Amino acid sequence: MPTPDVDVGAMLDALDRHGVDYVVIGGFAVELHDVAVPPTRDVDITPSTNTANLERLAAALVELRAHFRVPDGPAQGVAIPGGVSAEWLAGMVTVALVTDAGPLDVSLLPDGTTGYDDLAASSSEIRYEDRAVPVAALEDIIRSKEAAGRIKDIVVLPALRAHLRRRT
């Protein structure tokens, strides 16, 4: 699971408390699928982009005291000018945040996908601690990592593909 610097439970609880519709993607989703990869250092989500959901997400991010995560920047991040709002979120594609619970990336349009509806269609709920977590399908995670083409994604693709083959 993610490094001890990430309080995944607190993040998920805040999202759930506010009724946010989202799917977990990225490294944490890979870990939830029980693929043997190095632990991730953040949690990545793709939320539904309808206005009401973005308002709920904004409220959850305010509760978590979200700030911009800046490479080589201060550990607490940099304040978001004007604060977090649904309008601000609607203008984002991907935003790297640091919260009181740790790093959280919000990707409204992950590489290789058309967003939440695309990912939610084949997602499943996986148990994490005492909660059911909506998690992108392994096939969709692979598709997104292939499209992103980053070294850190390419390195884990063989393990993802092998795990998928063992499951089918």
Q: Measuring CA to CA, which residue among 2, 94, 6, 83 is closest to residue 46?
A: 94
Which spans in the chain are helix H? 8-17, 26-32, 51-63, 86-90, 116-121, 138-148, 151-167
For the entire predicted model, the pTM comes to: 0.94
Q: Report the mean per-residue pLDDT for the chain.
A: 94
Per-residue pLDDT tens over the stretch 23-45: 999 999 999 999 988 888 899 99
- Predicted confidence at residue 75, as pLDDT, reads 84
Percent above pLDDT 90 for the chain: 86
Angstrom CA distances, 123 to 48, 69, 101, 141, 155, stand at 13, 27, 24, 10, 23
Q: Measuring CA to CA, which residue among 86, 54, 83 is closest to residue 68?
A: 83
Q: Does domain 8-158 bear CATH number 3.30.460.40?
A: yes
Average pLDDT over residues 78-97: 95
pLDDT band at residue 76, thresholds of 50, 70 and 90? confident
- 124-128/94-99 β-pairing: unpaired
Domain spans of the chain, in order of start: 8-158
> Which tops the pLDDT comparison, 91 or 73?
91
Per-residue pLDDT tens over the stretch 117-143: 999 999 999 999 999 999 999 999 999
- Predicted confidence at residue 151, as pLDDT, reads 94
The tokens describing 140, both together, are 């969709």
pLDDT band at residue 72, thresholds of 50, 70 and 90? confident
Angstrom CA distances, 120 to 13, 62, 78, 106, 124, stand at 19, 24, 31, 15, 8
Percent above pLDDT 70 for the chain: 98
